[in-house]
Structure 1
Amino acid sequence: MNAFAHHRKFLTVVFCLAGLFAFSLPVLATTPKKTTIDVARTTEVTGPVIYLGDVSNITAPDFFKEELARIDLGKSPRAGRMKQLSGERIKASINAMGLKASDMNIQVPARVFVKRAAQELDPSRVEKALGQFLSGFFPKGDFKVKTFSVRGIELYPQGDLSLVFDKRYTPSNTGRLSVHVEVWVDGVKEGRLTATGSLSQFKPVVVAARRLERGQAITPADVTLRDMDVFGLEPNILTAVDQVLGMVMTRTIDKGDCVARDEFKQAPVFEKGAVIKLVAQKNRLSIVTLGVCKEDGYPGQPVTVENLTSGKLVRGLVTKDGTVEVVF
């Protein structure tokens, strides 16, 4: 019993091995004896260099197939463009490998046409990237791209496309927009664009709440704040009402007009001809008398005063409380 079982097991193993050997015979029979290269007449490539493997179907042992596929046939055309290759040049590049003609079967058209695959850049993508770039100058996000256009967009090679904005750019006070943008694909600079347009930025601005006459001192009822596009306005506009209260207008402006810094001056503590207190100090000695101001007096500014006691003209500094201090 045991001997018979061992004999049957041995036969089973032999038949399995024979079956496996027989199954492998068709594979061995189909192994090619020659290297074949069939070059297509038209091909689309993605990389910057045209390789034989890009334009042909190669049948060869794996290690040799890789070497053939890496044969350099020259630079690729620009993205979206086409380039012609000479069939004789392709054959010459293959033959330069030093292979025997009897071991090779090469099929090459007289002319091979190679096109570079491309991707398009949507202007809306540039506009979106521009908004992110400008947010670095306007961290509060209180700006808007009113008008936008872009020049220089082309077809670009396939790959990871990125936009790099000119770091030297600074926003214009007028809101005019003009910035250069580099286009990079897979770490290679592929072009340059110019984005143009205009910006708006709304901020509260001090405006006249009523018509303000020249020489009029400004009160809280004379001015108010209104949201306005600050681009294109005078560079010396004001954004806080307390900056102008008590000031005197230097020209007449209409209701709703912006109150600019150069349209008013500081109100004097006293006007020319006013009788003021004149204080003269020397060491610990202090003399107080009256005087007539010969010009308008402003806090911290020098002014000429006639001493009513002596009739002499003296110079002193105006204080906030309306006196003039003379230091000997």
Structure 2
Amino acid sequence: MNTHKIYKKYLMVVSCLACIFHFSLPVLAATPGKILIEVARTAEVKSPVIYLGEVASITAPDFFKAELTRIDLGKSPRAGRMKQLSGERITAAINAMGLNDNDINIQVPKRVFIKRASQVLEPSYVEKALRQFLSEFLPKGKFDLKAFRVRGIETYPLGDLSLVFDKRYTPSGNGRLSIHAEVWVDGVKEDRLTVTGRLSQMRPVVVATTRLERGQTITPADVTLRDMDVFGLQPDAMTSVDQVSGMVITRTIDKGDCVTQGEFKRAPAIEKGAVIKIVAKKNRLSIITLGISKEDGYPGQPVTVQNLTSGKLVRGLVTADGTVEVVF
């Protein structure tokens, strides 16, 4: 009898131990340290896509941690902007991996606020980049940029920012500047800006030191070099006093005005109606006589003259000293 009671008590103890072991298994499986995901209430992300690793602290074995970190939670907001994600959405994205509920502990708020990290593009940065661009085809240190203005600047994502200006641009004759600039961040085009302003480029040009009348022959004292803004000037403005000295003005030029190529002509070596020397040559024979020029004559150019002795009209070449040579 006593043996039977002892056996029954033994069976009861064994059954209790089995039950305790069975019901303790889930608890052991859910012990802390397996996989723990703690999602922050607020987070700042850098990439165009929101990844779980950017908004949560993940404790897990390396293999699972790498996969969990790359869980896609959707598109990031625009740079500097914020969006909300529900805790349910984040939890559903995690559970989509198919992990056992007993193997993972997810701690997530009802709402998660996510902001896209950003950087500000300062107008001074744009101006500096534009000056560098312009210096590639304008003399360095000899141009200035005035009335600078940039339109369309936004807030941009963090990353390597660069500006690309339209390489087809050429300065206009009046100095007005209008050019487009593309904004690139980490090799991705983010924006297109419009930059305007006015270019000023100083260059020495020939100007009149006094009023020059039509028909007047220019002397070195009549002109000088002065630095002037070439934008807005005629493209054929003269840049050397030697270029105009001895030339004849074809229209009146006021004091201080620049001299352009179309405002003067060469002074004739022989003026129309002037008495000139005619040298007639044939073989080794030379005959010198006087004549009257029937037109203005220039060195190296043919001119018509009238022989004062015979009264005949002849054609000859004008020399630098004003003589007309006639070859028979």
TM-score normalised per structure 2: 0.81
In the alignment, which residue of structure 2 is the partner of 1:175? 175
Q: Give the CA deviation at 1:301.
A: 3.0
- For the residues of structure 2 that align with 1:298 and 1:44, how far apart are their CA atoms? 82
Question: 1:293/1:36 Cα in 2 relative to 1: closer, same or farther (>3 Å)?
Answer: same
- For the residues of structure 1 that align with 2:166 and 2:120, how far apart are their CA atoms? 22
Aligned pairs (5 A) from 1:56-205? 56-109=56-109, 111-205=111-205
Q: Give the CA deviation at 1:114.
A: 2.3
SS at match of 2:164: strand
- For the residues of structure 2 that align with 1:62 and 1:242, how far apart are their CA atoms? 83
Q: Give the CA deviation at 1:161.
A: 1.6
- For the residues of structure 2 that align with 1:243 and 1:70, how far apart are their CA atoms? 74
Q: Which has the larger displacement, 222-231 or 92-101?
A: 92-101
- For the residues of structure 1 that align with 2:163 and 2:243, how far apart are their CA atoms? 43
- For the residues of structure 2 that align with 1:123 and 1:326, how far apart are their CA atoms? 72
* Structure 1 unmatched runs, 5+: 1-29
Amino acid at match of 2:165: F
In the alignment, which residue of structure 2 is the partner of 1:274? 274
Count of residues in correspondence between the two structures: 299
Amino acid at match of 2:194: T
In the alignment, which residue of structure 1 is the partner of 2:21? none
* Structure 2 unmatched runs, 5+: 1-29
SS at match of 1:102: helix
Question: 1:317/1:94 Cα in 2 relative to 1: closer, same or farther (>3 Å)?
Answer: farther
In the alignment, which residue of structure 1 is the partner of 2:323? 323
Q: Give the CA deviation at 1:320.
A: 2.1
- 1:120-178, CA deviations, whole angstroms, 9 ceiling, x for partnerless residues? 01101111222222222233411111220111111011122222222222222322112
- 1:183-238, CA deviations, whole angstroms, 9 ceiling, x for partnerless residues? 22222222121221012122222111111111110111111122222221121211
Q: Give the CA deviation at 1:78.
A: 1.8
- For the residues of structure 1 that align with 2:140 and 2:260, how far apart are their CA atoms? 24
Question: Is the 1:32–1:60 Cα contact (8 Å) retained in structure 2?
Answer: no
Q: Give the CA deviation at 1:51.
A: 0.6
- For the residues of structure 1 that align with 2:306 and 2:31, how far apart are their CA atoms? 121
Amino acid at match of 2:114: V
- 1:256-275, CA deviations, whole angstroms, 9 ceiling, x for partnerless residues? 12122211111111111123
Question: 1:51/1:290 Cα in 2 relative to 1: closer, same or farther (>3 Å)?
Answer: same
Q: Give the CA deviation at 1:34.
A: 4.2
Q: Which has the larger displacement, 283-292 or 82-91?
A: 283-292
Question: 1:202/1:34 Cα in 2 relative to 1: closer, same or farther (>3 Å)?
Answer: same
In the alignment, which residue of structure 2 is the partner of 1:295? 295
1:217 aligns with 2:217: yes
Aligned pairs (5 A) from 1:301-316? 301-308=301-308, 310-316=310-316
1:42 aligns with 2:42: yes
Q: Give the CA deviation at 1:282.
A: 6.8
SS at match of 2:47: coil
Question: 1:284/1:67 Cα in 2 relative to 1: closer, same or farther (>3 Å)?
Answer: farther
Amino acid at match of 1:250: T
Q: Which has the larger displacement, 92-101 or 311-320?
A: 311-320
Cα RMSD (Å): 2.6
- For the residues of structure 2 that align with 1:286 and 1:91, how far apart are their CA atoms? 116
Amino acid at match of 1:200: S
- Aligned-residue sequence identity (percent) comes to 78
In the alignment, which residue of structure 1 is the partner of 2:228? 228
